[in-house]
């Protein structure tokens, strides 16, 4: 029981992070109909930025806010200057530009902050003693903090989408860009905003995820996370924010449980779980669990 709960808590934390990053991917997908390959690297760049600030004695919480704001600008500018001029040409061209952005961001991280791994300070108390016992298992405050913050981000996004004028305009633009323009929605601004918010969510995910493991802030940190988030976004349905969140949590828990209880997977084959999930979804249910199949009525 205790072993199971320990794993469950870890799984939910990882899952919450996957969920947040998957939500970011879904937002970009709904705006531009592409997977943003650079999503993870945008998150890494802003996480480095936050870490850099903390080394200059900026409180972690303030660093998080600055990172989110920087992420917003990074996302919005990428959409306006890189994606929009290219996307008219073809989907493939867009994907290649995003791969380019991936490597430029990663290389910039190395140039600015160096190649060695760093430890990111946590937003929450995370000494070995900061936990509560739940049936003998240790529920660390750091985990609870991640859950609550991700839950807050998700709640904010759903409030935005379903409760505001702006959210309605964003959903309309995602659904039918031309009709949105015809209704007078400033489509370009809405797309920039979608990318900006998406990268801001990524920044929060990065700053939350990194402190969960010591010495984990490094140039290769976000790639596995992107794979998991992509798997979650696909599993949930690429156009479904709710699906992304649920699938992120599912995958996070499944990953930890499988590697804990199936010795053959252990710590080495963890990433394979995400790939298996991606292939399985694409084969069996391409629209994901909660995504919509395009149906047009004539």
Partner 1 sequence: MNLLEVTDLKAGYGQAEVLHGISLHVEQGEVVVILGANGAGKTTTLRAIAGLIGRRGTVSIGGTLLRPGVPAEAVAAGLSLVPQGRGTFTKLTVQENLLVGATKRRDKAAVAQDIDRWYEVFPALSARTKQAAGTLSGGEQQMLAVARSLMSRPSLLLCDEPSLGLAPLVVRSVFDVLREINAEDGTAMLIVEQNAELALDLASRVYLLEVGEVVTSGSAQDLRHSDTVRRSYLGY
The tokens of 178 are what? Answer: 């031309």
- Please give the size of the binding site for partner 1, defined by CB under 8 A: 21
Residue 230: name the closest of 66, 39, 69 by CA: 39
Residue whose CB is less far from partner 1, 104 or 160: 160
Nearer to partner 1, 55 or 90 (CB): 90
Q: Which of 129, 99, 116 is nearest to 37 (CA)?
A: 99
Which of 264/296 has CB closer to partner 1? 296
Q: Which of 59, 186, 214, 224 binds partner 1 (CB under 8 A)?
A: 186
Specify the stretch interacting with partner 1 by CB under 8 A; choose among 49-57, 114-122, 171-179, 259-267. Answer: 171-179
What b-and-e string marks burial along 253-287, b requiring 16 or more CB atoms within 10 Å of the CB? bbbbbbbbeeeebeeeebeebbeebbeebeeeeeb
Which one of the spans 75-83, 94-102, 177-185, 191-199 is the region binding partner 1 (CB under 8 A)? 177-185
Quick note: the x/- pattern for partner 1 over 269-298, rule CB under 8 A, is -----------------------x--xxxx
Q: Among residues 166 and 279, whose Cβ is nearest to partner 1? A: 166
Cβ burial of 157 (10 Å; 0-12, 13-18, 19+) is buried
Minimal distance, residue 55 CB to partner 1, in Å: 45
Which residue matches tokens 């936050």? 50
- Residue selected from 5, 33, 172, 257 as contacting partner 1 according to rule CB under 8 A: 172
Alpha-carbon gap, residue 283 to 276, rounded angstroms: 11
For the segment 210-269, give every residue that binds partner 1 (CB under 8 A): 239
Report how far residue 124's alpha carbon sits from residue 143's, in angstroms, rounded to the nearest whole number. Answer: 9
Least distance from partner 1 to the Cβ atom of residue 293, Å: 11
CB of 185 to partner 1, least distance (A): 5
Question: Cα dist. 164→28, 171, 185, 187, 200 in Å?
Answer: 19, 11, 14, 17, 19
Residue 90 in contact with partner 1, rule: CB under 8 A: no
Using CB under 8 A, pick the residue from 49, 74, 180, 245 that binds partner 1: 180
**Which DSSP state fits 212?**
G
Q: Is residue 176 involved in binding partner 1 (CB under 8 A)?
A: yes
Which of 55, 90, 179, 213 is in the footprint of partner 1 by CB under 8 A? 179
Closest separation in Å from C-beta 191 to partner 1: 14
For partner 1, the closer of residues 15 and 194 by Cβ is 194
Q: Report d(CA 292, CA 298) in Å as an integer.
A: 18
55 is a site residue for partner 1 (CB under 8 A): no
**What are the residues whose beta carbons fall under 8 Å from the beta carbon of 269, sequence distance 6 or more?**
259
Residues 67, 238: contact at Cβ < 8 Å?
A: no
H or E stretch covering 75:
helix 60-78
Binder to partner 1 among 141, 171, 265, 287 (CB under 8 A)?
A: 171
Contacting residues toward partner 1, per CB under 8 A: 168-169, 171-172, 175-176, 178-186, 239, 292, 295-298
């Amino acid at each position: 029981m205790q072993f199971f709960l320990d794993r469950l808590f870890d799984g939910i934390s990882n899952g919450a992070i996957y969920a947040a990053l998957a939500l970011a991917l879904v937002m970009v997908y709904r705006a531009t109909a592409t997977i943003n390959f650079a999503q993870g690297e945008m998150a890494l760049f802003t996480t480095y930025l936050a870490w850099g600030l903390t080394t200059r004695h900026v409180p972690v919480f303030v660093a998080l806010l600055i990172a989110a704001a920087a992420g917003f600008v990074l996302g919005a500018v990428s959409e306006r200057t890189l994606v929009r001029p290219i996307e008219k040409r073809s989907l493939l061209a867009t994907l290649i530009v995003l791969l380019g952005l991936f490597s430029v961001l990663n290389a910039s991280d190395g140039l600015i902050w160096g190649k060695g791994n760093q430890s990111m300070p946590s937003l929450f108390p995370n000494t070995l003693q900061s936990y509560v016992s739940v049936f003998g298992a240790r529920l660390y405050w750091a985990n609870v903090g991640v859950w609550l913050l991700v839950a807050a981000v998700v709640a904010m996004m759903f409030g935005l989408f379903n409760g505001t004028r702006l959210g309605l305009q964003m959903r309309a633009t995602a659904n039918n860009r031309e009709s949105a323009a015809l209704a007078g929605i400033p489509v370009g601004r809405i797309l920039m905003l979608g990318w900006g918010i998406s990268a801001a969510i990524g920044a929060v995910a990065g700053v939350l995820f990194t402190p969960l493991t010591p010495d984990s802030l490094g140039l290769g940190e976000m790639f596995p996370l992107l794979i998991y988030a992509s798997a979650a976004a696909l599993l949930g349905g690429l156009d479904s924010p709710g699906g992304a969140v649920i699938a992120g949590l599912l995958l996070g828990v499944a990953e930890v449980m499988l590697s804990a209880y199936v010795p053959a997977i252990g710590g080495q084959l963890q990433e394979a779980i995400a790939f298996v999930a991606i292939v399985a979804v694409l084969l069996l249910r391409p629209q994901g669990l909660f995504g919509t199949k395009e149906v047009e009525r004539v």
